[in-house]
Structure 1
Amino acid sequence: MASSLPRTAAVSAVVATALAAGLIAGASASAADPSTTLRIHDIQGSTRISPLVGQRVTDVTGIVTGVRTYGSKGFWLQDPEADGDPATSEGIFVFTSSNPTVSVGDAVKVSGTVTEYVPGGLNSGNQSLTQISKPTVAVVSSGNAVPAPVTITAGSVPAAYTPDGDPAAGGSVNGLTLRPQSFALDYYESLEGTNVRIGTSRVVGASAHSELWVTVKPHENANRRGGTVYGSYDAQNTGRVKVQSLTPIAQKPFPTANVGDALTGETEGPLDFNQYGGYTIAARAMGTVEDRGLEREATRPQHRSELAVATYNVENLDPTDPQEKFDALAKAVVDNLASPDIVALEEIQDNNGAKNDGTVAADATLKKFTDAIVAAGGPAYEWRSIDPENNKDGGEPGGNIRQVFLFNPERVSFTDRAGGDATTATGVVKERGRAALTVSPGRIAPADEAWENSRKPLAGEFVFRGRTVIVVANHFGSKGGDESIVSHHQPPNRSSEVKRLQQAQAVNTFVKDVLAVQRHAAVVVLGDINDFEFSATTEALTDGGALRAAITSLPRSERYSYVYQGNSQVLDQILTSPSIRHFDYDSVHINAEFAEQNSDHDPQVLRFRP
């Protein structure tokens, strides 16, 4: 949570605020009727919000199914006698704030306050986790059998992801009665806190931060490398589930897994809900990772008459990074990307990285990188870029990230036109019947509010075999601030789209200006667009036929450059103007699917004959 309060206090504040705002339903904080014996399914209720939220409950019984001694400390309690209602969970999390004094298999009685904890805070839009807070716990007996797990399978998870939210509740699903046989999110919610199990499952999100993602639906939007492709806002991939271990990392290192590997055997534990991905198996027992041998791809070299243009987000590269990172990225440019003629780099930081001292130059970063490329057997790339104003382009404070063109002078030349700086906009003029930039390199409309606190597009004019090609390198605004696909608002609020839409419109306008001067101009727009090929952002970029999203030339199962929460998806793109009718496109998978990464993005390569 954003709050600096201890979690117990923060939980109470969240509940109070939510109740006051009508965001969650519940009674005032009073004791439940002592004459009624309350069971866990009574507390959970048949919606996402407990009907007893804010009330104190006494002597709630169950068997301990999992204990967490790190992070959000507490334990899971489950009633071994179900009520027969598939919408009501028989398990619940008991938040103790300190190391629990119970063990798996203990039969206990718990008294405390029913709360709805919203991971990430109310403004995140996340669903809440029903729990018992400020508990008093009495152990009745030990060594009891844990309630048999519910097995999550391809057949048990519905094909539809979520119902639409209630318009009368601002689009929230919180008040809707759960329909676990109809919607995947309702199914998982009906098992919140319950002991669950999965069998052998394919890994669809590489291990990181002591977690991995698997799918229980191996045929759901699968690609040939083992991932699960996110192809539209209505294809959220219902079979994905996150797995964490309840064993602290200090006691047992989390296994390393790549996309396409298998988590074999049985994985079992309570179903948690957290800020980073939603429903998560807090594994009391984990299966074994089986290496399925996923290999990093290498694209083919360009032919002599083909111009190869690539984009690569190198993830906050600066001279303070270890030489090993520079060497690995350089090796990727040479061996995996076959030394493209032009490489648009995103996230090149200034000469001292995140040190916030006013430094904006990045020549030391670029020299270290281009030297590493030469050492890896690649060409002696030259570079062109424009230093940003200090702390005006977003990203890590002090880092001053920017886009940069690398180009191989043995294959392509750069047309330098002086005058470009952080605040000067490049324009388009006609020169000998062709479109030409007024400054090269130059920034597109840097004063436009679309680029406030964001990376400004970098335009450059290149010549290949006597043909002029205008290239625009981009790094659009991030998705930070968007609600997740497990938000209680359905559909989720994607607020970050507003800025990217403005940015796309600005770039589209620039490309149209070029085409108005020279109808058949060769224009390549590329970079970390931070949005999908089916998004409104991409629609705005391609408006009026000014550009085509080249990644759509690939089969749907191969359209991805990034893996997020088990969804293989598009963030990096190359778009082409209409005169570039024939091209060869490759999303080169070398990072996003792997536990060991040099960047979290996969580079993209376009080859064509201008």
Structure 2
Amino acid sequence: MPSRSSARLAALTVAAVCSAASAVALTSPAQADGLRIHDVQGTTRISPYAGQKVTDVPGIVTGTRTYGSSRGFWIQDPTPDDNPATSEGVFVFTGSTPKVAVGDSVTVSGTVSEFVPGGASTGNQSVTEITKPTVITLSTGNPVPAPVVIDARAVPRHYAPTGDASANNSINGLTLQPEKYALDYYESIEGMNVRVGNVRVITATDPYAELWVTVKPHENETRRGGSLYASYDDQNTGRLQIQSLGATADFPVANVGDTLTGTTTGPLDYNQYGGYTLVASELGTLKSGGLQRETTKKQAHGELAVATYNVENLDPSDGTFAAHASAIVNNLQSPDIVSLEEIQDNNGATDDGTVAADVTVNKLIDAIVAAGGPRYDWRSIDPVNDQDGGEPGGNIRQVFLFNPQRVSFVDRAGGDSTTAVGVTKVHGKAQLTASPGRVAPADPAWTSSRKPLAGEFVFRGRTVFVIANHLNSKGGDQGLTAQYQPVVRSSETQRHAQATLVNAFVKDILDVQKNAEVIALGDMNDFDFSGTTEILQSGGALWSAIQSLPECERYTYDYQGNQQVLDQILISKEIRRNGDFQYDSVHINSEFHDQISDHDPQVLRFRP
């Protein structure tokens, strides 16, 4: 199957794996004889024999990996001990196609290593392995040890222990408590043959032939069959990634809400992209849940419809223009204003100094007309080349589309890529100094990140201020299965600074005109319960309207089995005070294997 893994690092000693975590001293003798797999695995995440040579460790081969850079095989002891904290399985890294078969009884001699998928800088946990192996086959055709059944009763409710404060909150040196914590439970069966049965898909099949299921069908269940990421303390312990040990051509092409019926069985691995993963030698049968893409309501004559839609690095070479146009016209019902995120310049990722995006935008507008929609007009500001982050050379930016038959844009000169837009008072009303304009573009908070685009619109004689955002991404944050618990969300620092600036700009408008109708929307790259959202809402300037939905419908994105909010539309007090608004998270992408973007668009309808 395809692999996203970087080249395998050299086998890491325990010191490299632990980083600042509790180091496990390497003891003499340098070679250990007569060990079983549970001795090698030990009762913590780090083998007590890491860095040492071991001799004649016995086991039955339960799976072979013959692709990618992590070639090797798993063995499992058919005679387990009575300690639930010690795994009975281990991966043997050969680096080339293994010469053993499932059912072989073998002994393995080699060096115990702790391999960190993606490298130690990721903060990932390590996989205990035997490397540089000498393998002796004793017999063939033996029964494979019965798989451990992973189900709702087996997986604890709590996600992870709190790490050792003296070791930067690493959990590596803590004794496993598999009956108390989900991460400890999964670690206690690392490398073993495991099984799940009749499990619901909660993240659709991706291009790498992976999907996510839940063994806890009622854990934060969303209305359409996913699992809601409800809080930092409720991370859905029943989530499990599924890959295939064999060819990927027959891998299930699943959407959220589908079911893998029957049994799915294979070794439990840990990888860079999602942590604990069942690498299936036997896959269940896919049963469709019949999930359909949603369509929102059409705005009434007196309603203004405002949407946000991340179109995922759209450039003229993409083949998705017709699909995006159909989504805007049919699923979103042609909103009056659409804030687009991730519009790339006219030659996409080619890094030649091009910053204009008129070809990209006009190609989308033409596709919308072809799909039966209105001919939108548009406004944007080209960024300084290579200064706004995103795909190198792509120069992504936010763009306003608006239907000139329904709403007008107030053009006011002076806005450019480096000049900050301000707020003035004219005839007792707030007015932008430039429209469109960018919010504090020179502030360090926007380094290598998209600057907000602000504009004035008029609908039925009423001015509406709209601020289009694409805040700093979560790149660099530690994964939920990291060795550091609680995980470090390093990207928040910049995002919080950005949210502070957006909040302050909205307050500037409201200080001049307290009843101004202001909308801040876009890809906020953070959850509705996050500190970022709290800052955006600070002082009552804004309120995230997705909170008007039932909790089971509050999601715009699906990542590693967690349905979550990244895209938001926040509204000022005047819009909320009227109470005459409707919010819709229109699920057309995030739950589907054939998505044209990884984000679901959001629509707000209200009467200014």
| 2:314 and 2:344 in contact (8 A); partners too | yes
Residues 1:564 and 2:570 aligned together: no
1:554 aligned partner = 549
Alpha-carbon distance in 1 for matches of 2:48, 2:367: 61
| 2:470 and 2:523 in contact (8 A); partners too | yes
Residues 1:477 and 2:464 aligned together: no
- TM-score, length-scaled by structure 1: 0.97
The one of 287, 299, 303 aligned to 1:302: 299
Alpha-carbon distance in 2 for matches of 1:184, 1:590: 32
| 2:5 and 2:272 in contact (8 A); partners too | no
Alpha-carbon distance in 1 for matches of 2:318, 2:330: 21
| 2:14 and 2:46 in contact (8 A); partners too | no
Alpha-carbon distance in 1 for matches of 2:229, 2:522: 20
1:130 aligned partner = 128
Alpha-carbon distance in 1 for matches of 2:116, 2:11: 11
Residues 1:149 and 2:147 aligned together: yes
The one of 360, 369, 374 aligned to 1:365: 360
Number of aligned residue pairs: 601
- Cα 1:20/1:203, change in 2 over 3 Å: closer
2:490 aligned partner = 495
SS at match of 2:521: strand
Q: CA deviation at 1:21?
A: 5.1
- Aligned-residue Cα RMSD (Å) equals 1.5
The one of 115, 118, 137 aligned to 1:117: 115
- Cα 1:373/1:468, change in 2 over 3 Å: same
| 2:19 and 2:120 in contact (8 A); partners too | no
| 1:28 and 1:54 in contact (8 A); partners too | no
The one of 43, 47, 52 aligned to 1:46: 43
Q: For residue 381 of structure 1, what is the amino acid of its counterpart?
A: Y
SS at match of 2:64: strand
Q: For residue 52 of structure 2, what is the amino acid of its counterpart?
A: Q
The one of 47, 52, 56 aligned to 2:53: 56
| 1:57 and 1:113 in contact (8 A); partners too | yes
Q: For residue 457 of structure 2, what is the amino acid of its counterpart?
A: F
Residues 1:240 and 2:235 aligned together: no
Alpha-carbon distance in 1 for matches of 2:363, 2:286: 37
SS at match of 1:237: coil
The aligned runs of 1:46-195 (5 Å cut-off) are 46-71=43-68, 72-195=70-193
Alpha-carbon distance in 2 for matches of 1:595, 1:2: 18
Deviating beyond 2 angstroms after TM superposition, the runs of 4 or more aligned structure 1 residues are: 1-4, 10-26, 28-34
Q: For residue 197 of structure 1, what is the amino acid of its counterpart?
A: R
The aligned runs of 1:570-589 (5 Å cut-off) are 570-581=565-576, 582=579, 583-589=581-587
Alpha-carbon distance in 1 for matches of 2:52, 2:455: 64
Structure 1 residues 341-382: Cα deviation after superposition (integer angstroms, max 9, x where no partner) = 000000000000000100000000011000000000000000
Structure 1 residues 539-579: Cα deviation after superposition (integer angstroms, max 9, x where no partner) = 01000000001111111111000000010000000000000
The one of 361, 380, 392 aligned to 2:387: 392
1:344 aligned partner = 339
1:517 aligned partner = 512
Residues 1:291 and 2:288 aligned together: yes
1:418 aligned partner = 413
| 1:48 and 1:128 in contact (8 A); partners too | yes
Q: CA deviation at 1:126?
A: 0.7
The runs of 5 or more residues in structure 2 that have no matched partner are none
2:311 aligned partner = 314
| 1:210 and 1:245 in contact (8 A); partners too | yes
Q: CA deviation at 1:320?
A: 1.0
Residues 1:456 and 2:451 aligned together: yes
Residues 1:226 and 2:255 aligned together: no
Alpha-carbon distance in 2 for matches of 1:429, 1:304: 31
Alpha-carbon distance in 1 for matches of 2:327, 2:276: 35
Alpha-carbon distance in 2 for matches of 1:608, 1:29: 73
Structure 1 residues 173-219: Cα deviation after superposition (integer angstroms, max 9, x where no partner) = 11111111111111111000010000110000000111110001000
Structure 1 residues 471-513: Cα deviation after superposition (integer angstroms, max 9, x where no partner) = 0000001000000111111100000000000000000000000
Q: For residue 450 of structure 2, what is the amino acid of its counterpart?
A: R
1:262 aligned partner = 259
| 2:15 and 2:23 in contact (8 A); partners too | no
Q: CA deviation at 1:27?
A: 0.8
Structure 1 residues 369-407: Cα deviation after superposition (integer angstroms, max 9, x where no partner) = 000000000000000000000000000111000000000
SS at match of 2:10: helix
| 2:93 and 2:132 in contact (8 A); partners too | yes
Alpha-carbon distance in 1 for matches of 2:5, 2:317: 32
Alpha-carbon distance in 2 for matches of 1:395, 1:161: 32
Q: CA deviation at 1:28?
A: 6.4
Q: For residue 97 of structure 1, what is the amino acid of its counterpart?
A: G
| 1:30 and 1:56 in contact (8 A); partners too | no
Q: CA deviation at 1:20?
A: 7.4
Alpha-carbon distance in 1 for matches of 2:346, 2:404: 24
- Cα 1:21/1:519, change in 2 over 3 Å: closer
| 1:64 and 1:107 in contact (8 A); partners too | yes
Alpha-carbon distance in 1 for matches of 2:350, 2:165: 47
Residues 1:427 and 2:422 aligned together: yes
Q: CA deviation at 1:31?
A: 2.7
Alpha-carbon distance in 1 for matches of 2:14, 2:436: 53
- Cα 1:191/1:224, change in 2 over 3 Å: same
2:590 aligned partner = 592
| 1:29 and 1:54 in contact (8 A); partners too | no
Residues 1:217 and 2:216 aligned together: yes
Q: For residue 160 of structure 2, what is the amino acid of its counterpart?
A: T
The runs of 5 or more residues in structure 1 that have no matched partner are none
Q: CA deviation at 1:30?
A: 6.1
Q: CA deviation at 1:248?
A: 2.6
- TM-score, length-scaled by structure 2: 0.97
Alpha-carbon distance in 2 for matches of 1:78, 1:17: 26
Q: For residue 256 of structure 2, what is the amino acid of its counterpart?
A: V
Q: CA deviation at 1:12?
A: 2.9
Q: CA deviation at 1:82?
A: 0.5
Structure 1 residues 246-273: Cα deviation after superposition (integer angstroms, max 9, x where no partner) = 0032xx4321000000011100001000
Alpha-carbon distance in 2 for matches of 1:90, 1:562: 37
- Cα 1:292/1:265, change in 2 over 3 Å: same
Q: For residue 427 of structure 1, what is the amino acid of its counterpart?
A: G
Alpha-carbon distance in 2 for matches of 1:20, 1:365: 46
Alpha-carbon distance in 2 for matches of 1:16, 1:564: 32
Structure 1 residues 277-315: Cα deviation after superposition (integer angstroms, max 9, x where no partner) = 110001010001111110000000001111000000000
| 2:11 and 2:131 in contact (8 A); partners too | no
Alpha-carbon distance in 2 for matches of 1:268, 1:498: 41
SS at match of 2:31: coil
Alpha-carbon distance in 2 for matches of 1:445, 1:363: 24
- Cα 1:388/1:30, change in 2 over 3 Å: farther
- Cα 1:19/1:455, change in 2 over 3 Å: closer
SS at match of 1:585: strand
Alpha-carbon distance in 1 for matches of 2:232, 2:380: 36
Alpha-carbon distance in 2 for matches of 1:391, 1:380: 30
Q: CA deviation at 1:221?
A: 0.2
| 2:50 and 2:112 in contact (8 A); partners too | yes
